[in-house]
Amino acid sequence: MKNIINTVLAAILLITISSQQLFSQDIKEVFGAVGTGIIAGRISEADARQEAINNAKVEALRKAGVKENLQQYEMLFRSEVNQDFTEFFSSDIQAELNGAVQKYEVVREEKKIDPTSGLFTVEVTLNATVILYSSRPDPAFNVQIKGMKGVYEDGENLTFSIFSSRNCYLHIFTITDTETSVLYPNKYEKFKQIESGKDIVFPLAHLDYPMYALGKKPEMNRLVFVFTKEPIQFLNYKGEERITTPESIFSWVYGMTPDMRKVEYITFTIR
């Protein structure tokens, strides 16, 4: 009976911590944020739509009261369109962010002709949930990732170690040009606390992380390491291979206050 009570209390504490993480921030609902993207040259209608959504996100941040670093947000969203996520996960940039669009809904979309240039444009209107941060990254929360190479041969196994200055929890995401998934935790390696002050070698279990290029050309691969002070699990994935999207990762990461997370981003090539 005592064990059952302790388990229930632990579950309640976890829910409380997770709720405090999200709701200790100022959350604003923004309606009617408008953005436009231009269809021209190699910019397809789909690319223009994404540009319009990202411009609308910047407008949502402005309407929510974020006045600083709006140009930096535009650069972040542009890097998303180009599949270059270095800007998104730069520690220096994260330290300067004042808020984030956690989620949004496109409520209207129109294709128009710009009266000045005569070019086709895509205009979207969205409603968004914007989080305004009241904290900065914790300078005492430091992590290191060791043993990663810049180039891996096709089929070569990935191994590395991590070091953290404090006890924490970890998620690892892999992003390629065609797919995004959760590498860790998985059905063989369970979600658990990472002990501080030690080099923890991955994989944790008796399995391999084989790296494969899907085509004949060298392939860029990206790993995103998300360390959190509390056991806040990422659950927005599908299937045994835990398929997700970069945007789902962004939403989850930026839903946490900056002082409670640490993100590291590593790119490498598979040939």
Q: How confident is the model at residue 97 (pLDDT cuts 50, 70, 90)?
A: confident
Determine whether 67 is exposed, middle or buried from the number of CB atoms within 10 Å of its CB (0-12, 13-18, 19+): exposed
Determine whether 38 is exposed, middle or buried from the number of CB atoms within 10 Å of its CB (0-12, 13-18, 19+): middle
- Give the side-chain half-sphere CA count within 13 A for 133: 23
Q: Give the pLDDT confidence of 110-129 residue by residue, as tens digits.
A: 999 988 888 999 999 999 99
Report the alpha-carbon distance of residue 183 to residue 235 in Å, rounded. Answer: 13
Q: How confident is the model at residue 25 (pLDDT cuts 50, 70, 90)?
A: confident
pLDDT of residue 103 exceeding 80: yes
Would you state the pLDDT for residue 82? Answer: 66
Across the range 4-17, mean pLDDT stands at: 38
pLDDT of residue 12 exceeding 70: no
Q: What is the mean pLDDT of the chain?
A: 86
Q: Which amino acid is at 78?
A: R
User: Which structure tokens are listed for 189?
Assistant: 């390696």
Would you state the pLDDT for residue 33? Answer: 97
Would you state the pLDDT for residue 24? Answer: 54
Would you state the pLDDT for residue 80? Answer: 72
pLDDT of residue 105 exceeding 70: yes
Domain 143-270 belongs to what topology? Immunoglobulin-like (2.60.40)
Q: Give the pLDDT confidence of 125-166 residue by residue, as tens digits.
A: 999 999 999 888 999 999 999 999 999 999 999 999 999 999
Report the alpha-carbon distance of residue 245 to residue 95 in Å, rounded. Answer: 24
pLDDT of residue 15 exceeding 50: no
Is the peptide bond between 185 and the residue preceding it cis, with omega within 30 degrees of 0? Answer: yes
Across the range 65-76, mean pLDDT stands at: 82
Domain boundaries, the chain: 26-132, 143-270
DSSP string, 68-82: SSHHHHHHHHHHHHT
Across the range 209-221, mean pLDDT stands at: 83
